[in-house]
Amino acid sequence: MKEIKIFAPATIANISCGFDVLGCCLDTIGDEMIIRKSPEKGIKITKIVGMDLPYEANNNVAGVAALALLDKLASNKELTNYQGGFEIEIYKNIKPGSGIGSSAASAAGAVFAINELLDKPFSKLELVEFARKGEELACGSPIADNVAPAIFGGFTLVRSTAPLEILQLPTLKDLYATIIHPQIEIKTADSRAVLPDKIPLKDGVKQWANVGAFVHALHTEDYELLSNSLKDYIVEPHRSKLIPEFDKIKKTALKEGALGCGISGSGPSIFTFSKGIQIAEIISDKLSLIFKNTHIESHHYVSKINTQGIKIISIQ
């Protein structure tokens, strides 16, 4: 293999009750990337389409993640005898600062593709570790709740970051996500700045009870329990103030039959979960009307949960 083209999916992180630990992978939203072998060592980003992003590998999340992988190869010569480098083309469809894993898609996509071209010397868990380096560049913290579902697919839980431990969770077959993305930017660093340093113990107890209930709901295919667990007592009360019309959107989504509604990642995108595509599409239509009455443009997506993660489009 000399070249690979991939689909790098968008993701939802936090999922209401699971701040920095829960995430899931989407199926109809994502970037495309082409990565090819090069006789020149190192990482070179040769094309970026769709967004204005840095070409310097050290300043680009895909480049930083890929360099972390190459550093590991250099420290362990037994993994591969490949002596060259890689060129990366990025075709961005996920807007940076959207809250649906734009940086994670680039970082995860780069290391996944390079690993494929090298005949998979690294495990999925190791790829998440490399991709976290890109996330650290993007938001100042090596979070894994977006890159983990992008690489593993479906729902994931980050049980530990030191050492890194990712749990892959079941996916409900009739579960659909509706994403509403108002075209404003909220930087992850800014959205983290509004969070309190301390929380009341009673709120913590309710929050981790919901995480446990959410995980149990996935394992038992209990949609009602999943709905009841999609409540955020810690983050949403603070971050929702940064998102126009959030309260109205949530109220409307729940009225139309959504299982739950919350902030995707650090925002401004808002997600809802529904049982069945019909309800998901009705919710998308209803919520789009809310932003039509404002001066804010919005994009809307309906997606099944992607259980595969990053997908190979073609190999040469």
Give yes or no: 188 in active site: yes
Residue 297, H or E segment: none
List the catalytic residue out of 32, 129, 135, 136. 135
Q: Residue with structure tokens 């109205």?
A: 248
Cβ(130)–Cβ(65) below 8 Å: yes
**Strand bridging mode 85-91 / 43-49:** parallel
List the catalytic residue out of 188, 245, 252, 256. 188
Q: C-alpha 222: how far from its chain's center?
A: 24
Evaluate the CA torsion angle 313, 298, 234, 248 in order and state its sign. negative
Evaluate the CA torsion angle 47, 122, 41, 313 in order and state its sign. negative
Cβ(47)–Cβ(55) below 8 Å: no
Q: C-alpha 234: how far from its chain's center?
A: 20
Cβ(149)–Cβ(24) below 8 Å: yes
Q: Residue with structure tokens 């100042």?
A: 140
Give yes or no: 135 in active site: yes
Question: Could you list the active site residues?
Answer: 135, 188
